[in-house]
Each structure stands twice: as C-alpha cells, then as structure tokens.
A and B are shown apart, each in its own frame.
Chain A
Amino acid sequence: MYFFCFNHTADIISTVEFNHSGELLATGDKGGRVVIFQQEQENKIQSHSRGEYNVYSTFQSHEPEFDYLKSLEIEEKINKIRWLPQKNAAQFLLSTNDKTIKLWKISERDKRPEGYNLKEEDGRYRDPTTVTTLRVPVFRPMDLMVEASPRRIFANAHTYHINSISINSDYETYLSADDLRINLWHLEITDRSFNIVDIKPANMEELTEVITAAEFHPNSCNTFVYSSSKGTIRLCDMRASALCDRHSKLFEEPEDPSNRSFFSEIISSISDVKFSHSGRYMMTRDYLSVKIWDLNMENRPVETYQVHEYLRSKLCSLYENDCIFDKFECCWNGSDSVVMTGSYNNFFRMFDRNTKRDITLEASRENNKPRTVLKPRKVCASGKRKKDEISVDSLDFNKKILHTAWHPKENIIAVATTNNLYIFQDKVN
C-alpha cells in the first residue's frame, strides 16, 4: 500500500537512480543537470514514515557541445547516472550524455578555516607589514555546503550514442555501451578504453541489429550482459577473450507464431536489462512485457508479465505516432520479490513474483495529495467499462513513465513522469 509523499518539478527527467544506501536519489534531465535528493535522517521518534527527500545538490553535469567535423550538436541530456559505492566521506557518481561520461565528486563542507594571518575574513589580503602577531587558523562551523566537482572526463570513445553505463563489482572498472560497441574503462584512466564488444558489420549495409542496454553482473566481475533491438540478450565472460564478440550465453525466446505481425521485431526490442540483486536472475523490458530470466536457462524466460497487453491491437497506431519506439526501464525491489516498470497515462505497474499479483498505480498531482494512499487503477481493454476504469482510447500517450527506481533496502520508490519526480513510500506500521 503506497502513499504519496513528495513531488518535484523539473526539466524533462531522463534518468533516476538511488545510491547504494538509498539515502541519496539522483535525477538527470534533458538540460544536462543533475539534481540529488537526500533522505532526512530519522531523529523523530513519532515518525510514522521514513525520512522525506529534500534537494541536496544541483549541478550542471553536461553542456551542449558542437562537433565541428560533423557539424552537429551533441545533446547535453543525461542518459544515465550510476553511483559508486561510498568509500569515504564524499559521494561519487558517473553521469553520461550521448558521447561523454563524467565522474563527479559530491562532498560536504560544514566547517571553514578562520583566523588567517595574511587574509581578512572577506578574503582581502592584508598588508604584511601590519601583522604584528601570529595566530593559528582554526576550523569553525558553517552552514552546510554541498559541492560537486568533476573528477574525470571520459570522452571521445563513442562514435554512436551511449545508452548504458555500468560499474563493475570490482569498483575499479566500468563499461559504457553505445548502439554498436561496448567499452571497458578504468575509473582512474580517461585517455584510454578497451573495446570489448563490437557488432558493427564490416559493411554497414548488413546492419540489422543494435545494442540497446548493457550491465555488469552484480557479483562476478568478469561477466556482463547486453541486449539487442532484436530481443536477444548475450552474456559475455571477459576471461574468455579480450574481445567479447562471441557470447557465452544467448538468451532468446522463440517468437509466438500466433502473435506474429509486421511489428514483431519492434516490440521485441529490449529497452532495459537489469540483474537481480542476487545475481541469479535478470529482467528485460520489451514494449509490452517484462521478462525474468534465470541465467542458467537460455531458451525462454522463467516469468513473463504483461505490462499493457491491451496495446497489442493498437500497434499500428503506436507505430504511426512513434510511441512503439518508447524505451521503458524496469527495476527490482531490494529483495528481488517485486519488479516495477512504467506505462502510459502516467501509470506504473508492479508485479509481485511470489504472489503473482500485480497492481497499476498512477503518478499525478491531481490524484495525489500528501499522505493519501494511492488507488489502484485499471484499464478496460474492450467491452463495457466499469466505474473507475479507464478505456484504452482515453489513455494519454504523451504521459509516459519511462524511468523508475526502487530504494535498495526500503519500500520507497521514485517515479519520473515527463516533468515531475514522485516519491512514494509504503506505510510503516
């Protein structure tokens, strides 16, 4: 049972990600900005909810750039943000646009040195001849300042548009994937990367498939997967060879002949792939469904959940208005028992893997006041519409929830509509 607790209006949100503890939530937007929210620390005994999220830091991660050789602009939109696990007082995250990945350090400053000998408090320099005594500067408390500074810039390694970044469990390397290639980086080294997957055909005439997402295994630092526009997932082992063009495993479900149409390939294109926290399963999102795969079984998923099957008869119209190309993400809850993904009309769906129950909820300000419980929604596919149901033809296809995130430990979820970030949490009783 979820209730609404927070809403933040922004530029078009393009990515949402909790950090490893869940205390911080980062969003990236179309304007190249990163906004980080921090959960309030629970010091209220009577609190019946977990801490609320407030804006912690805002910074401009990427700027629009101009590629002179090709005469085109490189968008500053943030495609993905990934947090590094915290090693010291500062936080680190990777953010990427289409071409360049940046490592940002976010640090707090709550003290400042006072009592310099050669400088006034306002920063002006004193005339050394006026100094008659010496004192030792001391640190005094100040209002908390959160500073973000770019520590590394990883550029010029991607000809095509970057769609994924994923940090290795060794916490030293990470991968970045574009439409045709995947590169491996060391976090300390910016002028060099290793190409580990290359599916660009020698002859571009033969191009029929692109890489859509990639992720490192959460525990095996030599294993990663990448998904394709043809609905396949390849698992690769970096120990096998330097260039992982040959997969160790190929996950693909045979096409259902009764559902075949001109749009079969488009709707099979995988828009997101995520390993479970346990590392035993992975989840893929295609246009109409979410599939859970057991890494030990390649020929079919172990679970399939229909997100909005009522759209299957509307594929032609969705092709016409390009909605069929929308890329929805998906996410696991902390215990891997529930998965969540977005849909249209600002709906998002959750599937409980144990009870096999699912629920549709809506993220919208009209329907949500603080602390009110979210009401389950239902779409009426055909026939008579019941009260409170919404018919397929009334769905607003401009209101799409592409990005969702789940707190790694608690039942707190972040859902991004086009311009708004919503945070919902489960009742604590």
Chain B
Amino acid sequence: MMLSKGLKRKREEEEEEEEEESLAVDTWWLEPSHPAVAQAPLAGASSTLFDLSVLKLHHSLRQSEPDLRHLVLVVNTLRRIQASMAPSAALPSVPSPPTAPSVADSLLASSDAGLSASMASLLEDLSHIEGLSQAPQPQVDEGPPGRPTGGTPPDLGTLDLLGPGTGCLLDDGLEGLFEDIDTSMYDSELWAPTSEDLKHGPEDGPGKEEAPELDETELDYLMDVLVSTQALERPQEPGR
C-alpha cells in the first residue's frame, strides 16, 4: 500500500526532464552486467533521493530532541548521494518545505562544500544543546540516605572518577552550559541607553524606525522570563 508511491511518480517526471544524464554516472559501483543495474536509481532518481534526504534531515532537526542515530544515518546517506551526483549539478530546489526558514535557506543556498559545513555546524549546535545538564530527578524514598541522585557533584575533584570525555554533564566546561542561551536581545540596540526609541517612550506616533519598540509591558514580560524558571509548570507527579 505504501511501497511504491512517491518515488515512482517522481522517477517518471525526472526521466522526462533529465534524459541527457547518463546511467553510468550513478552506477559505477554496480557491474554493467549486474541484473540490478536495470533497477538501479537513475541519475534523476539520485536527485529525488537527495531531496527526500534533505527533507528527512529537516524533519529530524526540527524535533526537540533528534534521534541521533536517525540523524547520523540520514546525513551519511545524504553525503553519499551528494558525492555520486555530478559535481557541477546545482542543488535542486526543495518543493515548498514547511521548515524553519533559516535551516532550509542555509542548506539550499550553500555550495557543495558549504552544505557539508552547514550540516556540520548543525551537528555542532546539537552537541552544545546536548551537553547541558539534566533537570534534577525525583529522590528515591529508600535510596542511599542523604545522597543526591546524580547531578553535578559540588567537588570538582570527584569528576575525575568519571573518565575523560565524562559521561556526566559538564562536557564543555561551565562555559558550555550557557552557550546555547540566546543573548541577542541583550546585544541589540534596544537596550542601548542612547536609543531614541527609549527616550521617546511607547506613545510616539508613526514614522518611527522599523526596529521594535520596548514598552513597559514587554519589559515586564522579559523580566518575568528572566527571573522565574518557576514560570514553567511542572507536570503532576502521582504518588507511588
């Protein structure tokens, strides 16, 4: 039922468009006499697979906590497909992806070399996010008395117990802890004391700059977010 849907349709389209591409380009790994060559993906199908893989990559990265195995396998497959495509081929446009614009744009706009770099930097970002410590876990009633259930030991010396590249939390050191926090709002001109907008206040008429104004309600909201992690609601924990 779901087996031969999408790819078949696209193959027909691609075949019409790219008849000039030769079979040999993409089947170098198969013997010409191999019976599978007849079914081997055409050069056009390669680009379809490429599109599909890019979509999968987008989808994977959009997850709040991507499945690392899935991600790595898709990226490796994407690299294989990319390597097999003709070097001069431009990246095919992805049909209206409903993805975060920045991710899609950065991938699409890159050259071949840039694609690797973009994917690499995405993986790098992932590592920073992953390197952060966990939320504290609930205590066990009958566990060892007075012992915290894991978490950062206060005495750095005990971190030595965990081998290099520790399986515990602070992989990138304390600085790594804060690397993913977006501080751009503090760096923007909004906060500069010389800003015209601030002096004039929120009631000024039209004809102001495009840059967003900072009014009192926004400031209150930002302060709330800054000072209260308690703002996040804890899910109910039923008793044991």
Residues of A whose CB lies within 8 Å of any CB of B are: 60, 63-73, 99-100, 149-161, 179-183, 188-196, 198, 200, 203-205, 207-210, 212, 229, 242-243, 257-258, 260-263, 265-266, 269, 313-314, 316-322, 325, 392-393, 396-397
Contacts and interface: CB of A to CB of B under 8 A. Distances in A.
Contact of B72 (A193, A210, A262): A210
Interface stretch (B95-103, B188-196, B232-240): B232-240
A41 B181 CA distance: 59
B167 A193 contact: yes
Contacts of B162: 192-195
Secondary structure of the B side of the interface?
Answer: loop
Given A72-B65, A313-B39, A66 B135 contact: yes
B4 interface: yes
A70 B29 contact: no
A208 B147 contact: no
Interface in B101-151: 120-121, 123-124, 126-127, 129-138, 140-144, 147-151
Nearest to B59: A322
B30 A258 contact: yes
A182 B31 CA distance: 41
Given A198-B163, A210-B72, A261-B29, 11 more contacts: A69-B135, A70-B132, A150-B240, A153-B143, A154-B149, A156-B168, A156-B169, A191-B150, A195-B166, A314-B3, A321-B2
Given A68-B232, A190-B150, A319-B52, A156 B133 contact: yes
B80 A69 contact: no
B76 A265 contact: yes
A357 to B, nearest CB: 28
B121 A205 contact: yes
A230 B1 CA distance: 30
Interface string B149-186: 11101000010011111111101000000000000000
B5 interface: yes
A155 B69 contact: no
Contact of B140 (A153, A314, A396): A153
Most chain B C-beta atoms within 10 Å of own C-beta, residue among A207, A243, A266: A207
Contacts, number: 210
Contact of B2 (A66, A313, A325, A397): A397
Interface residues of B, number: 79
Contact of A159 (B2, B5, B7, B130): B130
B165 A190 contact: no
Contacts of A161: 65, 67-68
A67 B65 CA distance: 11
A269 B70 CA distance: 10
A205 B143 contact: no
A265 B123 contact: no
B23 interface: no
A375 B34 CA distance: 37
A155 B153 CA distance: 13
A103 B94 CA distance: 48
The 6 closest A-B pairs by CB, nearest first: A156-B150, A205-B120, A204-B127, A195-B167, A198-B165, A155-B137
